[in-house]
Amino acid sequence: MEKLASRERILRTVAGQPVDRVPIFAPVPWHPLAPEPDPKNWKARPNYQRLLPLVAEHCDFFVHLDVAERVPIGNPGGGQVRGHPSGSIFDRRFFLAHPENVHVIEDRLELDTMLQIIQERLSERLHWALEHGVGPFLRFGGSEQATPPMMSKRLFEEFIIGYEAPLWKMVREAGGIVWVHCHGKVATVLNRFVENGVQMLDPVEPPPQGDITIKEAKARAAAGPLTLIGNVEMSDLQNGTPELIERLVREAICEGGRKHFIMGTSEVTVSAVDDQLRENIIAYLETAARYAPFERDRNGG
pLDDT digits (tens, 9 = 90+) for 69-112: 544 444 444 443 333 333 444 555 545 566 677 777 788 898 89
Chain-centroid distance, C-alpha 140: 8
Q: Mean pLDDT of all residues in the chain?
A: 87
Q: Which pLDDT does position 63 carry in this prediction? A: 74
Interhelix angle 275-291/242-256, rounded to 10 degrees, is 30
* Local confidence band at 34 (pLDDT 50, 70, 90 cut-offs): confident
Cα–Cα distances in angstroms (integers) from residue 296 to residues 22, 182, 212, 283, in the given order: 14, 32, 26, 19
Worst-scoring range by mean pLDDT, 144-148, 183-187, 250-254?
A: 144-148
In whole angstroms, what is the distance from residue 245 CA to residue 262 CA?
16
Pairing between β-strand 200-202 and β-strand 227-232 as defined by DSSP bridges: parallel
DSSP secondary structure of 210-267: SS--HHHHHHHHTTTT-EEEEEE-HHHHHHS-HHHHHHHHHHHHHHH-SSSEEEEESS
Cα–Cα distances in angstroms (integers) from residue 166 to residues 27, 116, 121, 209, in the given order: 31, 12, 13, 29
pLDDT digits (tens, 9 = 90+) for 199-255: 999 999 999 999 999 999 999 999 999 999 999 999 999 999 999 999 999 999 999
In whole angstroms, what is the distance from residue 292 CA to residue 20 CA?
9
Cα–Cα distances in angstroms (integers) from residue 260 to residues 122, 179, 187, 226, 248, in the given order: 29, 13, 18, 7, 18
pLDDT at 192 over 80: yes
Tell me the residue ranges of DSSP E strands in the chain.
137-141, 177-181, 200-202, 227-232, 261-265
Higher model confidence: residue 75 or residue 194? 194
Reduce the DSSP state of residue 124 to 3 states and report it.
helix
Residue spans of the domains in the chain: they are 6-67+135-295
Phi first, then psi: what are they for 44, rounded to 5°? -85, -10
Percent of the chain with pLDDT over 90: 68
Radius of gyration of the CA atoms of the chain, in A = 20
pLDDT digits (tens, 9 = 90+) for 154-177: 999 998 999 999 999 999 999 999
Measured in residues, the chain has a length of: 301
Q: 143 with 164: CB under 8 angstroms?
A: yes
The residues facing 141 across adjacent strands are 181
Higher model confidence: residue 91 or residue 32? 32
The residues facing 261 across adjacent strands are 228
CA-based nearest residue to 24, from 301, 296, 292: 292
The angle subtended at Cα 225 by Cα 175 and Cα 115, nearest 5°, is 60
Q: Which pLDDT does position 301 carry in this prediction? A: 37
Query: For residue 149, is the peptide bond before it cis, meaning its omega torsion is within 30 degrees of 0?
Result: yes
pTM beyond 0.85, yes or no: yes
Q: Which pLDDT does position 84 carry in this prediction? A: 35
